[in-house]
């Protein structure tokens, strides 16, 4: 019984939040890794792209709520999501036309493009703050829980409860659908194949008649969709604040690099590695240990390895370890 | 127009902006010397930071986006150097904390040694892992009680170990040293990685340094802030009581309150300008020396420089440390100016990326350019807000009073700042990538 209780506590406080956060990071990291693979630079504006998409989604959600449209038990934001994606697609295509395209045609060094993405980051950040303000926004509605802790306790008779929030369920399901669709697209469609070819060897791809502008355009469209979905899911699960989204850049980059930059499969693995280790290291293990340790050996303190404020340190330490021992990441990424 | 004339004119323009802000009260200009000197002071500090970044990026092509971390370390140096010792803190737990930290460092060294000395295999992995895990728990065992003891001392005002009670000016070089030490650690691990990996690594380090400052209350009081840091200049209230000063102010035709605040601000401006000039001269000498030529040769073609027998990694480490030390000095100066350390206010957009805008706008690779960029961009960073306000008033002048959109637009004008800075950066990169004062 104790063992079951420990397992449930572990699932409730570590596994479920970790997997949810991991899915969000994985979607974010997929965007970063696609840009890196095809456009060949680290996009520092990705966090703010996510923020922009989420912002539009929130605004449309508010509009729907005012009109009385809702998705029943599901959050209204899911209905607003397509609008957010479309707006973000328009924004990134515009940015590419106005900004990145010039440097791409010049064949500028990657570091110049990174610098340019800093400028884009500033502008998007300013735009988001200008429109929606720098404060916290909550926009989740509908049913809050799929499974409530008390219901679970009554059902199983265990002392520990297991709560699953709707946002957590939606995150995982959406992530699975999106990832499946993305891999189907990359592996089965003509455009997807040309994107992979372009990523593998640009010159060869050009020689075989692949239109680079088309590849770049599709990449941006996919990235915009991924960023908006990741941002909205994160916002539903926690809350939306422009600065938090900017800060998400670090775990997202860590995930992409740990998995191997430029490798989509790696981005997903990296996302979960980073998320689960962040949650594991900053979780107070007292409860779980109380159940599993023999009597008299229970920890007196919280048994927390590090305070939650050090979660950046965790993702970063993993990043450094991977860079030192396996610079191309877990799955072989690009090393330019 | 020769380069020198152009440089002179640009600096004159920057000076003119400061003077205009002090004298003219129209549009974006405040017409108050008080505000104009405040801008100048932070502008000088920003110029020093830009100089440090220019050393790394302009000379050596290192992409460091962890400037905020080094600045914050400089700020910490002020607390550790200048604050008086908290009574009883050392005997209560200070030595225990230091012991814990030394043990922690020893654990890492032992793990690294074990990793390098033992031959690869399962035995090595287990040894390293065992050293780290056991070391971590022993470290926490030594460290935690010390922290708890120190934080219990008068938590409303102190609760940290305080400093050494040394003169505050000493904190500036100390800030440089602490930042240099951190840069050495970071450089050892992160240099030699590709340029964008280095960027991400430094971005992460800066966040970690800030997390430490925010959470280690025994060190920096965390988000409770350290206030009332000693100042190198007299306090305004003391000046206002001083008979000589009152007489002096009267002879200038100023009221005492304004005069005292102008006196202090001018004092800071002179001190900062002195530091800036010293650093600028040193940077110029370095740039023109064989060492500077070597650095630029490495930047322009690493492979060729390596083939000529230059130790690229070592040189990169060297300049990374130097540049970071300059940022540390600037950070210490800034905390001295504020006379408080507020870890909650450090924000990478303001303390890292804005400095980058300064370097790019001014002209990377040119020390004068970096300094000019620091002054100009800081001026506009402050003035974009009134500019945005004016713009918004213009835009909304046709709208009906009380409309929600008008209120929103006017209320959000402050957020134009980041947008404008991004725009300036993009325009510079596109149309004048070499900056206002390009590298020769």
Write the CATH number for A146: 1.10.3470
Residue of B nearest to A314 (CA): B208
Query: Does a structural domain hold residue A62?
Result: yes
* B169-204 confidence digits (pLDDT tens): 999 999 999 999 999 988 888 887 777 788 888 888
Q: Do A299 and A286 touch, CB atoms closer than 8 A?
A: yes
Buried b (16+ CB within 10 A) or exposed e, B408-417: bbbebbbbbb
Residue A334 lies in a domain: no
Q: Is residue A212 part of a domain?
A: yes
Position with higher pLDDT, A35 vs A155:
A35
pLDDT at B359 over 90: yes
- Select from B197, B211, B422 the Cβ nearest to the Cβ of A122: B422
DSSP reduced 3-state for B327: helix
Measured in angstroms, the CA of B201 and the nearest CA of chain A are apart by 8
Measured between beta carbons, the chain A residues lying within 8 angstroms of B419 are: 122-123, 125-127, 130
How many beta-carbon pairs under 8 angstroms link A with B? 129
Number of domains making up chain A: 1
Are A126 and B420 within 8 A, CB to CB? yes
pLDDT at A336: 43
Q: pLDDT band at A150, cuts 50/70/90?
A: confident
Mean pLDDT of B312-330: 94
pLDDT at A335 over 60: no
- What is the reported pTM? 0.90
Name the residue among B190, B196, B429 with its Cβ closest to that of A110: B196
How close does chain B come to A208, measured CA to CA in Å? 30
Domain ranges, residue A312: 2-325
- Tell me whether residue A14 is in a domain: yes
Residue B227 parent element (H or E): strand B226-227
Cα distance between the two ends of chain B: 15
Q: Is residue A332 part of a domain?
A: no
By Cβ distance, the residue of A112, A305, A316 closest to B208 is A316
- Beta carbons of B195 and A114 less than 8 Å apart: yes
B404-429 pLDDT tens trace: 888 888 888 878 888 989 999 999 99
Asked if B350 and B46 count as a contact pair (C-beta separation under 8 A), the reply is: no
Measured CA to CA, the distance from residue B228 to residue B340 in angstroms comes to: 6
Are the C-beta atoms of residues A164 and A147 closer than 8 Å to each other?
yes
- Alpha helix segments (H runs only) across B55-164: 67-82, 89, 95-117, 122-152
Distances (CA, A) of B107 to A209, A321, B130: 57, 16, 10
Tens of pLDDT, residues A85-130: 999 999 999 999 999 999 999 988 888 899 999 999 999 999 999 9
Closest of B196, B1, B177, B216 to residue B73, by C-alpha: B177
- CA distances to B94, B302, B309, B321 from B312, in Å: 41, 7, 9, 14
Confidence of residue B1 (pLDDT cuts 50, 70, 90): low
Determine which of B136, B388, B415 to mutate to test the interface with A (most A C-beta atoms within 10 Å): B415
Nearest CA in chain B to A99: B426
Among A266, A278, A273, A53, CA closest to A179: A266
- Choice between A148 and A302, residue whose per-residue pLDDT is larger: A148
| CATH for the stretch B3-84+162-431 | 1.10.3470
Tokens coding B225: 């802030």
ipTM of the complex: 0.89
Confirm whether A248 is domain-assigned.
yes
Q: Which of A108, A143, A135, A294 is nearest to B195 (CA)?
A: A108
Query: Cα separation of A126 and A124, whole Å?
Result: 5
pLDDT over threshold 50, residue B122: yes
Q: Which of B41-50, B147-156, B392-401 has the highest mean pLDDT?
A: B41-50
CB contact under 8 A, A122 and B189: no
Q: Retrieve residue B243's tokens.
A: 């008979």
Output the pLDDT for position B157: 76
CB-based contacts of B83, cutoff 8 Å, min separation 6: B162, B163, B165, B226, B229, B230
Averaged confidence pLDDT in chain B: 89
Pairing of β B340-341 and β B226-227: antiparallel
């Amino acid at each position: 019984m104790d063992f079951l209780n420990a397992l449930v506590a572990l699932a409730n406080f570590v596994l479920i939040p970790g997997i949810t956060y991991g899915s969000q990071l994985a979607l974010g990291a997929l965007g970063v890794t696609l840009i890196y693979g095809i456009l060949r630079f680290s996009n520092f504006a990705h966090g703010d792209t996510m923020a922009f998409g989420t912002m539009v989604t929130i605004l449309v959600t508010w509009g729907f709520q005012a009109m009385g449209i809702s998705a029943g038990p599901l959050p209204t934001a899911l209905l607003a999501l397509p609008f957010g994606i479309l707006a973000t697609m328009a924004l990134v295509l515009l940015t590419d036309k106005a900004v990145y395209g010039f440097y791409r045609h010049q064949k500028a060094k990657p570091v110049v493009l990174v610098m340019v993405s800093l400028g884009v980051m500033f502008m998007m950040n300013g735009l988001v703050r200008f429109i929606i303000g720098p404060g916290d926004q909550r926009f989740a509605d509908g049913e809050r829980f799929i499974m409530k802790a008390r219901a679970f306790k009554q059902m199983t008779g265990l002392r520990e409860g297991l709560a699953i929030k709707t946002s957590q369920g939606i995150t995982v399901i959406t992530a699975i659908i999106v990832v499946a669709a993305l891999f189907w697209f990359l592996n089965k469609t003509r455009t997807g194949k040309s994107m992979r070819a372009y990523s593998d060897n640009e010159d060869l791809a050009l020689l075989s008649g692949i239109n680079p502008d088309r590849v770049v355009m599709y990449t941006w469209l996919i990235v915009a969709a991924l960023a908006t979905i990741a941002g909205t899911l994160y916002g539903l699960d926690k809350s939306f604040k422009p600065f938090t989204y900017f800060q998400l850049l670090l775990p997202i980059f860590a995930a992409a690099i740990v998995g191997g930059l430029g490798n989509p499969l790696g981005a997903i693995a990296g996302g979960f590695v980073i998320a689960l280790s962040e949650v594991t290291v900053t979780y107070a293990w007292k409860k779980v240990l109380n159940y599993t340790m023999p009597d008299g050996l229970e920890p007196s303190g919280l048994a927390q390895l590090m305070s939650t404020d050090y979660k950046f340190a965790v993702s970063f330490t993993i990043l450094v370890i991977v860079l030192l021992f396996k610079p191309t990441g877990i799955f072989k990424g690009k090393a330019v | 127009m020769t380069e020198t004339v152009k440089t002179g004119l640009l600096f004159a323009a920057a000076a003119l902006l400061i003077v205009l802000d002090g004298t003219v009260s129209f549009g974006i200009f405040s017409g108050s010397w008080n505000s104009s000197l405040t801008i100048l002071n932070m502008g000088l500090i920003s110029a020093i930071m830009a100089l440090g970044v220019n050393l790394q990026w302009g000379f050596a092509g290192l992409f460091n986006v962890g400037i905020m971390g080094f600045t914050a370390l400089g700020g910490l140096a002020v607390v550790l150097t200048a604050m008086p010792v908290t009574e009883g803190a050392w005997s209560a737990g200070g030595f225990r904390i230091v012991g814990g930290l030394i043990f922690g460092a020893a654990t890492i060294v032992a793990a690294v040694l074990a990793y390098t000395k033992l031959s690869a295999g399962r035995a090595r992995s287990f040894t390293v892992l065992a050293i780290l895990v056991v070391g971590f728990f022993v470290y926490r065992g030594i460290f935690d009680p010390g922290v708890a003891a120190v934080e219990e001392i008068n938590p409303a005002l102190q609760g940290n170990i305080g400093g050494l009670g040394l003169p505050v000016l000493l904190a500036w070089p100390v800030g440089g040293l602490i930042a240099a030490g951190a840069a050495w650690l970071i450089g050892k691990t992160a240099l030699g990685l590709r340029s964008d990996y280095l960027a991400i690594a430094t971005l992460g380090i800066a966040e970690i340094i800030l997390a430490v400052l925010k959470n280690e209350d025994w060190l920096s009081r965390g988000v409770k802030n350290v206030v009332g840091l000693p100042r190198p200049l007299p306090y305004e209230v003391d000046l206002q009581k001083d008979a000589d000063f009152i007489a002096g102010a009267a002879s200038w035709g100023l009221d005492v309150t304004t005069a005292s605040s102008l006196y202090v601000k001018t004092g800071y401006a002179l001190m900062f300008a002195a530091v800036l000039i010293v650093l600028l001269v040193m940077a110029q000498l370095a740039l023109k020396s064989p060492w500077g030529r070597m650095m630029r040769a490495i930047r322009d073609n690493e492979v060729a420089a390596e083939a000529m027998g230059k130790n690229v990694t070592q040189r990169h480490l060297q300049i990374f440390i130097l540049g970071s030390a300059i940022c540390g000095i600037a950070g210490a100066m800034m905390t001295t100016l504020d006379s408080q350390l507020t870890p909650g206010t450090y924000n990478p957009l303001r303390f890292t990326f804005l400095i980058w805008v300064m370097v790019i706008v001014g002209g990377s690779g040119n020390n004068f350019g970096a300094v000019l960029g620091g002054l100009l961009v800081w001026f506009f960073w402050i003035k974009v807000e009134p500019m945005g306000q004016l713009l918004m008033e213009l835009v909304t002048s046709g709208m009906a009073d009380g409309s929600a959109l008008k209120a929103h637009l006017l209320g959000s004008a402050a957020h134009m700042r980041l947008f404008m800075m991004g725009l300036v950066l993009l325009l510079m990169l596109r149309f004048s990538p070499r900056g206002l004062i390009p590298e020769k």
